[in-house]
Amino acid sequence: MDFFRSQRQARRQTLIFLALFTLIVTLVVVLCAAVVGFSCLIFAPEKMTVYARNTGIVVLLIIIGASIVRSTELHSGGGAVIARHLGGEPLPLSRLDHPYFQRFRNVAQEMAIASRTPMPTLYWLPNEPAINAFVAGFTTADAVLAVTRGTLERLSRDELQGVIAHEFSHLLNGDMRLNTQVASWLFGVYAVYTYGRSILSVTALGSNRDDGFIRPGNWPLAIFFGGALTVIGYIGKLGGRLLQAAISRQRETLADASAVQFTRQTLGLAGALKKIYYGSSYLQSPQSDTYSHFFLGDAIETSQLFATHPPLVERIRALDPKFDPDDNPLPAVDAHLDVDALDKALPLYFNADSAASFSGRETEFTMRDGLALLFANLLDGDNEAVRRRQLDDIEAAWGHDVSYQTHIIEPDIDSQKMYLRLTRLHLMLAQLHTLSAVQQDTLRRTLRTLIAANKNISLLEVVVAFLVARYLRDMASPADAQVAGLLRLTDCAPEMTLLQNLVVNHAKQTAAQVTLDYFDDSGKTTTANAHMVERALDRLNRLTLDEKKNLFQALYDACGRPSPEQQEMLSLLAGCLHTPPLESMVHYPGSELTLAPE
């Protein structure tokens, strides 16, 4: 499960797809110009060149314009736009809802913990009874994980876990970003077909009206032109489907294998695919054609030549070699037997003695709790005066409730194991989507204020603040996030040495206490030290993807046998650099963070 290699392949496929897409666009434009030119050759030879050229320009503008419109829409809204196009709705945040929702939320959190990635925003498709799922977006900050109503109602917990693990692998493999880019480009080619159909529809409507909408003498020309655009647009549409199929099939096989490594078993995903085989994965949404390459299973009915997924029998037999498609052993739908209780959720607060028990306070994971959890990690634990001033700053910016909640949970935060602390931080990032633009600015200022007030700035504090700030930037402009650059490690030797010294220091002290003091000869920590680390992270984010892998391998090796605290710090740093975790770091931290029914 080498996520770096998978992302490198995805980036290479993007370039290949762009080249082939350019060929399809050229073919569509040339065919449209040729049809008009041939018509002019018969009826008006002297105008053939002008009309053919103008037609080609118009068709090209239609394709480019539609692609730009869809691309702009996706760039501004990320994965949520795609979910809404398909009829999706955000999963209700309240726990006083259907147990299917609670089970979906719990399993998604378990996968986020296993993959060391921030929690995506959860959606469901209430009007889709088939079994299917997808993940969409440019980065983890705008990622959306969506499942159909049939997935929630018809799958057991193990099967749902297999499906969600499959989708998380798409997120880590770089498929999600590739699929989102492909969708915006294909929309332009599909627009030619849609425009031709519209002309035919308007012509048919106008032929029954006597209001001058379409002059009767122009009906044959409109029918001819609309029919030509429809046929040629359909040819382009078939070409787009071939590209979707060519790119998607191999990625789906890889995602199936990655899902098995996530869940440590094959029966869950195999069971879900069997239910699709004996049932259906086809969607009713008219937009499912454009987004068919996103889904777990084929979203539209088509021939195998244009199918975006390998044959289901092949996928099932790779997981269950004894599978016989002529035998239908599926029991009646029994997903209700293993749904999670409405009050059973991964705890926001972890006690030192029993990691999975609730602290007795409320179990609802609200924005107030998320902010308090974040701020509690940044309080000065050594100087009470500084700590009091930090709490006052929090109250001034966010009110008494958040400040009091921060004060209440701080002792629990300090006593937690490192991976429990950072697990909750990863999961709370999804809650930042509920903040307004003004609140997001306030959060940035609050983080800077808390760090500046601390007289003992730690690496943990700097990295957490950097991760949240990066997440907020990616939320605002997901398509502009710099996932990789052109720098080599030799260009970033000082930054690499700086980071390596800080991470190795975790072997000597607990992670929260590794300070930046050693930069200052006076022994006092200044905010300039924090800025030094932030600048180093910004520069390291411009490394190529391969060099980022080399960086984290070097950090990992420098630690010898990394402690759990060091591994968690490496996972935080990976999030800061838009980098998937090393394969050796992807695992379940323990059974205390799963809520499967006993």
State pLDDT tens for residues 67-82.
888 888 887 778 899 9
Work out whether the CA dihedral 216, 221, 223, 229 comes out positive or negative: negative
Q: Which residues contact 325 (CB under 8 A, 6 or more apart)?
A: 277, 313
Q: What is the mean pLDDT of residues 268-288?
A: 90
The secondary element (H helix, E strand) that includes residue 123 is: strand 121-125
**Paired tokens of 64:** 């480019």
Q: Please give the pLDDT value at position 2.
A: 54
Calculate the CA 309 to chain-centre distance: 20
Q: Which residue has the higher pLDDT, 42 or 376?
A: 376
Q: How confident is the model at residue 360 (pLDDT cuts 50, 70, 90)?
A: very low
Q: What one-letter code names the amino acid at 435?
A: L
- Grade residue 51 by pLDDT with cuts at 50, 70 and 90: confident
Q: Is the pLDDT at 574 greater than 80, yes or no?
A: yes
Q: Is the pLDDT of residue 581 over 80?
A: no
294 pLDDT exceeds 60? yes
Q: pLDDT over 90 for what percent of the chain?
A: 15
pLDDT of 282 > 70? The answer is yes
pLDDT grade, residue 149 (50/70/90)? very high
Question: Would you state the pLDDT for residue 351?
Answer: 35
Higher pLDDT, 557 or 4: 557
Band of the pLDDT at 254, cuts 50, 70, 90? confident
Of the candidates 167, 252, 495, 565, the residue annotated as catalytic is: 167
Q: Which residues pair with 144 in a beta bridge?
A: 121, 136
With CA atoms as reference, report the closest residue to 151 among 283, 324, 320, 3.
283
Whether the per-residue pLDDT at 586 is higher than 80: the answer is: no
Give the angle 235-241-247 at the CA atoms, nearest 5°: 140
* pLDDT at residue number 523: 40
Is 167 labeled as catalytic in the residue annotation? yes
Helical spans, DSSP H, in 116-156: 149-154
* Least confident window among 100-109, 172-181, 410-419: 410-419
As a whole number, the mean pLDDT across the chain is: 77
pTM value is 0.76
User: Which residues of 526-592 form beta strands (DSSP E)?
Assistant: none
- For the ranges 185-189, 315-319, 346-350, the lowest mean pLDDT is seen at 346-350
Cα–Cα dist 596/339, whole Å:
9
Rounded mean pLDDT, 180-206: 78
Q: How confident is the model at residue 534 (pLDDT cuts 50, 70, 90)?
A: confident
DSSP secondary structure letter of residue 326: T
Q: Which of 15-19, 285-289, 319-323 has the lowest mean pLDDT?
A: 15-19
Quick one: DSSP state of residue 560?
S
If you count them, how many residues does the chain have? 598
Q: What is the pLDDT of residue 357?
A: 31
Residues with Cβ within 8 Å of residue 415, at least 6 apart in sequence: 351, 352
Q: What's residue 442's pLDDT?
A: 92
Min mean pLDDT across 122-126, 359-363, 516-520 is at 359-363
Q: Does residue 244 or residue 492 have the better pLDDT?
A: 492
Residue 53 has pLDDT above 60, yes or no: yes
In the predicted structure, residue 510 carries a pLDDT above the cut 50: no
Question: Helix %, strand %, coil % for the chain, to 5?
Answer: 65, 5, 30
Q: Is the pLDDT of residue 512 over 60?
A: no
Question: Above 60 in pLDDT, residue 331?
Answer: no
Q: How far is CA 514 from CA 100, 321, 462, in A?
A: 42, 50, 11
pLDDT on residue 364? 44
| 174 secondary structure, DSSP code | T
Q: What's the pLDDT at 594?
A: 43
For position 204, what pLDDT does the model report?
63
In this prediction, residue 353 carries a pLDDT of 35
